[in-house]
Amino acid sequence: MGPTLFLAAFIAGWHFLSANLSPSKKTIVPGPGSVFRVGFWNSSSCKVDDAGKVTCEYVRSDILNALLQTTKEAAVGLLIATVIGVAIAVLMSQARWVERSVFPWAVALQTIPILALVPFIQIRYGYDFKSRVIVCVVIAVFPILTNTLFGLQSADDGHHDLFTLHGGGRLRRLWKLQFPGAMPAIFTGLRISAGLSVVGAIVGEYFFRRGDPGLGHLIENYRRMQSKFDMPSMFATVIYTCLLGMAVFAIFSVLGSLSTRRWYEPAGTTRD
């Protein structure tokens, strides 16, 4: 009930703000009605070109195609970031010298502005899909790495002693003890990185504009057209971006609950 009331209050406030703006500013902050007509009800969006000619077109199909492209980029980037992050975290959990050697560089990579890496990515991979995916990986890998490492290192000492007593090897200990105990932390990292992968895809589309356009590409195009009365299309694209981020967060929240149910009971439940 709370999210619904918040959404209703937000839309009402948005409508009130737009309705009370001066005519010149209404072109910059369109009302929710015009945004939803363009982005969701597939009404036409009209633009004025440099010659003063008015043209109208349907933009929902363009936004949906861009949404699919951005989803592909974010999914591939998240998959690669997950493999890299979990693999490095496993190595660091098994050898302290690996953690001491690698972790500072992982922190350094996280703090480098992505804009500083763009020229290097462009020189090596160009301006297309691969470069966008690399941006996703760079942005999304750190939360997975740190949360997985935290989870793997959080196994109870008593459980470790029990495995030692029964002659459990390192691989068996990792698979039977550390990974099950780390699952909540891993999925916490995945939820964070899933949203960051969407951000990475949008950022990558700003910088690498060749190939199929994504949501970031459309946002930039519509932003440049703000003097030509195409702001409803830009706002609609931003809303689709928010919905994509919320969707991936919800998906990994559900997957996390299903995956950890085998080992963890919800609070307040008791065994018979």
pLDDT exceeds cutoff 50 at 54: no
Report pLDDT digits (tens) over 72-131. 999 999 999 999 999 999 898 888 888 899 999 999 988 888 888 888 888 888 888 899
Q: What is the mean pLDDT of residues 190-200?
A: 92
d(CA 118, CA 126): 10
Report pLDDT digits (tens) over 203-261. 888 888 777 888 988 888 877 765 555 788 888 889 999 999 999 989 988 988 887 77
Beta-bridge partner residues of 46: 56
Q: What is the mean pLDDT of residues 170-189?
A: 79
Q: What is the mean pLDDT of residues 57-83?
A: 89
pLDDT exceeds cutoff 90 at 184: no
d(CA 144, CA 7): 31
pLDDT at residue 20, rounded to an integer: 84
Mean pLDDT of the chain: 81
8 A C-beta contact, residue 78 and residue 194: yes
Q: What domains lie within the chain, and their CATH numbers? A: 73-260 (1.10.3720.10)
pLDDT at residue 269, rounded to an integer: 53
| Long-range pairs for 154-158: beta carbons < 8 A, 24 or more residues apart | 154/181, 154/182, 154/185, 155/181, 155/182, 156/181
| Gap between the terminal Cα atoms of the chain | 33
8 A C-beta contact, residue 248 and residue 194: yes
d(CA 193, CA 197): 6
Measured in whole angstroms, the distance separating CA 19 from the mean position of its chain's CA atoms is 33
pLDDT exceeds cutoff 50 at 272: no
